[in-house]
């Protein structure tokens, strides 16, 4: 059996599951854990210390502790050594009788990566757990058998060195009291200050508990956008997808979320080569957001063929624009790699949505100077061209980098549709992202870094991978648990900054 598991490249955890007794509840505490901006904190461990009961908050930050909550900490069996590039794992356990079993594997943000639910017979069983989404880090496994729950918090090393963890198993003995003489509710999550709250009653005569955790990370909130450029050549599209995958994995390993802004050419490529959308599902399971990216006719590089202008008008406009760029010395590009006219902006969004499998409302659409190039469906953007900070700031006096941080969210209506925007910065002359790194570092030293949002952008080009890595490494060193990482939509929806109407 051991050789078979090794040959299959399995990681084995042993969970011994027992039937539960039907006792009346003597503990029933429930509540929600939030951060200082009232955002739920999934993956938070909530423990009742004296009675040794534990639960992990779900995606809504909610927990429930009862008699059947896990307790009685036992040791994980030592995980077998495995080879790198492991693709699957398995949970092994023994049932003393026919029982319904469910298993969930979650990351520390509370996102479910794998699920299983089935009625199993008495005896030894193995539950396969897909590890294609597992990168180096901490994970939580939740197993339910009948009315009993088991919570395993484990560390996964993508290089296959060792996996260690602890299992909290449900007690089958009833608790004998309804009041707590000396008990404490302990709330903990990486990147936040552990909180301990005295508990005087175990039963639900108490109202739902709302617990607020403060982060111990001296960092501003931040987001990172990746612009995926439109190109015709299939080998170049495949290369950009590979780079997107590298960036998504590298960021996820550091608990950092990205907003991946996909071009139409890449969306079509993914739709044809990956009809099951496994790549997109993986990116979203890592916490990344999918947005759109449009190169309008006034872009100095490749035009993607979509526009708000008519087919005849745009060809005249494009030729005149490129000639003016060449005459002024701003560019030598003559349009040789442009796409033919493809359609209007509604068509652009239809192609994007149908190939990416969701309605896209976020991105960058090259609308800074031409608001008519912003599709009606897009509500959140990083390229609206409106200021989100002012020159009287403690971070930089270099106007070229004012977009690297925001002090407010810009709100404006175009086409009778309200849009909200936040800024990010990329300066191609900023070798090794040196200036952006300085700006982020200065922001960590502010008395109130939470009053600003840092924003950066890279392209999914092989040439920009090193700069991307250098900047993410600096951010990760300041925020190793990714507590302050957000997507573009999250920055706006969570109201981390005030809104200014324009």
Closest by CA position to 167, among listed 70, 256, 296: 70
Q: Bigger pLDDT: 154 or 25?
A: 154
- Check residue 104 and give its pLDDT: 75
Percent of the chain with pLDDT over 90: 42
Per DSSP, the residues of 264-306 read HHHHHHHHHH-TT-HHHHHHHHTTPEEEEE---TT-SS---SB
- The pTM of the whole model exceeds 0.85: no
Between the CA of residue 424 and those of 109, 457, 487, what are the distances in Å? 25, 6, 12
- How many helices and strands, by DSSP H and E, does the chain display? 9, 26
Q: d(Cα 177, Cα 407) in Å, to the nearest integer?
A: 52
- Are the beta carbons of 373 and 366 closer than 8 angstroms? yes
CB 489 within 8 A of CB 361: yes
Element housing 499 (H / E): strand 499-501
Query: Using the 8-state DSSP alphabet, how is residue 450 labeled?
Result: G
CA dist 243 → 26, 226, 433, 455, 463 (Å): 54, 10, 18, 20, 10
What pLDDT score was predicted for residue 354? Answer: 96
The SS3 of residue 156 is strand
* pLDDT tens digits, one per residue of 212-249: 888 777 789 999 999 999 999 999 999 999 999 999 99
454 beta partners: 222, 405
CA distance 380 to 382: 7
* Cα–Cα distance for residue pair 109/59, rounded to 1 Å: 7
Q: Which of 362, 135, 154 is nearest to 245 (CA)?
A: 135
State pLDDT tens for residues 396-430. Answer: 878 878 889 899 999 999 888 999 999 998 766 67
Q: What mean pLDDT, rounded, does the chain reach?
A: 78
Tally of CB atoms within 10 A around 456: 25
Pick from 82, 76, 88: which is nearest to 2 by CA?
Answer: 82
Contacts of 392 (CB under 8 A, 6+ apart): none
- Each residue's pLDDT tens digit, 1-48: 333 332 222 222 222 222 222 334 466 778 888 888 788 888 888 888
- Cα–Cα distances (Å) from 55 to 24, 243, 283, in that order, read 19, 38, 27
In terms of average pLDDT, the best of 2-16, 150-164, 257-271 is 257-271
DSSP category for residue 389: S
SS3 at position 104: strand
Q: Is the confidence at residue 82, as pLDDT, over 50?
A: no
Least confidently predicted of 159-173, 413-427, 442-456:
159-173
pLDDT at 169: 39
Judge contact between 8 and 83, C-beta under 8 A: no
Rounded to 10 degrees, the C-alpha dihedral 406/407/413/414 comes to -20
Per-residue pLDDT, 69: 60
Domains of the chain listed by start with CATH number = 2-212 (no CATH), 221-299+342-501 (3.20.110.20)
Which of 3-17, 67-81, 303-317 shows the lowest per-residue confidence on average (mean pLDDT)? Answer: 3-17
DSSP string, 196-226: EEEEEE-STTSPPEEEEPPB-----EEEEEE
């Amino acid at each position: 059996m051991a050789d078979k598991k090794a040959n299959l490249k399995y990681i084995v955890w042993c969970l011994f599951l027992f039937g539960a007794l039907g006792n009346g509840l003597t503990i029933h505490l429930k509540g929600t854990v939030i951060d200082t901006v009232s955002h739920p904190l999934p993956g938070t461990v909530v423990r009742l210390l004296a009675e040794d009961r534990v639960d992990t908050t779900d995606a809504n930050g909610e927990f429930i502790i009862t008699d059947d909550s896990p307790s009685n900490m036992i040791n994980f069996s030592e995980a077998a050594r495995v080879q790198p590039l492991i693709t699957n794992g398995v949970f092994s356990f023994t049932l003393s009788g026919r029982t319904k079993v469910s298993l969930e594997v979650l990351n520390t943000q509370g996102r479910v990566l794998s699920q299983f639910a089935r009625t199993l017979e008495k005896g030894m069983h193995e539950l396969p757990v897909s590890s294609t989404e597992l990168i180096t880090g901490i994970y939580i496994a939740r197993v339910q058998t009948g009315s009993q729950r088991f919570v395993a918090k484990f560390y996964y090393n993508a290089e296959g060195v060792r996996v260690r963890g602890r299992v909290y198993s449900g007690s089958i003995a009833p608790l004998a009291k309804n009041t707590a003489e000396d008990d404490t509710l302990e709330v903990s999550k990486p990147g936040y200050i552990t909180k301990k709250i005295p508990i005087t009653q175990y039963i639900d005569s108490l109202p739902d508990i709302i617990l607020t955790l403060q982060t111990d990370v001296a960092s501003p909130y931040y987001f990172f956008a990746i612009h995926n450029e439109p190109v015709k050549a299939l080998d170049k599209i495949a290369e950009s997808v590979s780079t997107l995958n590298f960036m998504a994995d590298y960021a996820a390993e550091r608990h950092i979320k990205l907003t991946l802004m996909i071009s139409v050419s890449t969306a079509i490529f993914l739709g044809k080569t990956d009809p099951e959308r496994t790549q997109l599902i993986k990116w979203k399971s890592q916490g990344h957001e999918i947005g759109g990216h449009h190169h309008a006719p006034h872009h100095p590089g490749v035009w993607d063929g979509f526009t708000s202008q008519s087919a005849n008008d745009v060809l005249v406009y494009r030729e005149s624009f490129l000639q003016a760029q060449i005459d002024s010395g701003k560019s030598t590009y003559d349009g040789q790699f442009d796409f033919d006219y493809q359609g209007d902006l509604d068509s652009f969004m239809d192609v994007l949505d149908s190939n990416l499998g969701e309605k896209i409302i976020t991105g960058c659409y090259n609308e800074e100077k031409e608001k008519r190039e912003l599709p009606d469906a897009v509500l959140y953007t990083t390229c609206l061209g409106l200021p989100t900070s002012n020159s009287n700031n403690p971070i930089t006096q270099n106007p070229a980098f004012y977009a690297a941080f925001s002090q407010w969210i810009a709100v404006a209506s175009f086409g009778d549709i309200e849009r909200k925007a936040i800024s990010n910065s990329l300066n191609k002359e900023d070798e090794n992202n040196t200036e952006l790194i300085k700006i982020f570092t200065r922001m960590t030293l502010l008395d109130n870094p939470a009053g600003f949002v840092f924003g950066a952008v890279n392209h999914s080009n092989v040439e920009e991978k090193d700069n991307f890595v250098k900047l993410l490494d600096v951010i990760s060193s300041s925020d190793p648990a990714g507590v302050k990482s957000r997507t573009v939509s999250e920055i706006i929806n969570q109201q981390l900054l005030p809104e200014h109407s324009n």
